[in-house]
C-alpha cells in the first residue's frame, strides 16, 4: 500500500508542477475502465484483468495504475491518464489495474 501511495504522491507532484489540476478523491472513479473483452463501470480499487495481453482504455476521471502482478502488487508498469490508453509495454507484463 505504501508504494501505491508513493506513486500517487509522485503523480500529484508531477501534475501540480505541470499546472494540471486534480480533483479531490472520491469513493470510486466515474466512468468505465475497459479492455478488449472486459469492462468495469465506476471502478474502485484493484481490478484483476481476465485477459492477456492487457490493454487498458481509461474512460474514467481518475488515473489508472497498471501493475505487473495480480492483486495490484509488484512494480507499476504504466500510469494511464483519464481518457488515455495503455501502451505495448504494459500490455506485455500488466496483470491488474488500480483506480481510486
Tens digits of residue pLDDT in 40-62: 999 999 999 988 999 999 999 99
pTM flag (> 0.85): no
Which residue is associated with the grid cell 489508472? 64
How many Cβ atoms are within 10 Å of 3's Cβ, its own excluded?
14
Cα 15–chain centre separation: 15
- Coil, helix or strand for 41? strand
Give residue 7's pLDDT: 56
Amino acid at each position: 500500500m505504501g508504494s501505491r501511495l508513493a506513486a500517487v504522491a509522485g503523480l500529484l507532484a508531477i501534475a501540480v508542477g505541470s499546472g494540471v489540476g486534480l480533483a479531490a478523491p472520491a469513493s470510486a472513479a466515474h466512468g468505465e475502465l475497459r479492455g478488449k473483452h472486459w469492462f468495469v463501470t465506476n471502478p474502485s480499487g484493484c481490478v484483476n484483468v481476465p485477459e492477456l495481453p492487457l490493454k487498458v482504455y481509461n474512460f474514467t476521471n481518475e488515473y489508472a495504475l497498471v501493475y505487473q502482478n495480480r492483486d495490484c502488487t509488484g512494480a507499476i508498469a504504466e500510469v494511464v491518464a483519464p481518457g488515455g490508453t495503455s501502451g505495448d509495454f504494459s500490455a506485455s507484463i500488466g496483470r491488474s489495474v488500480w483506480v481510486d
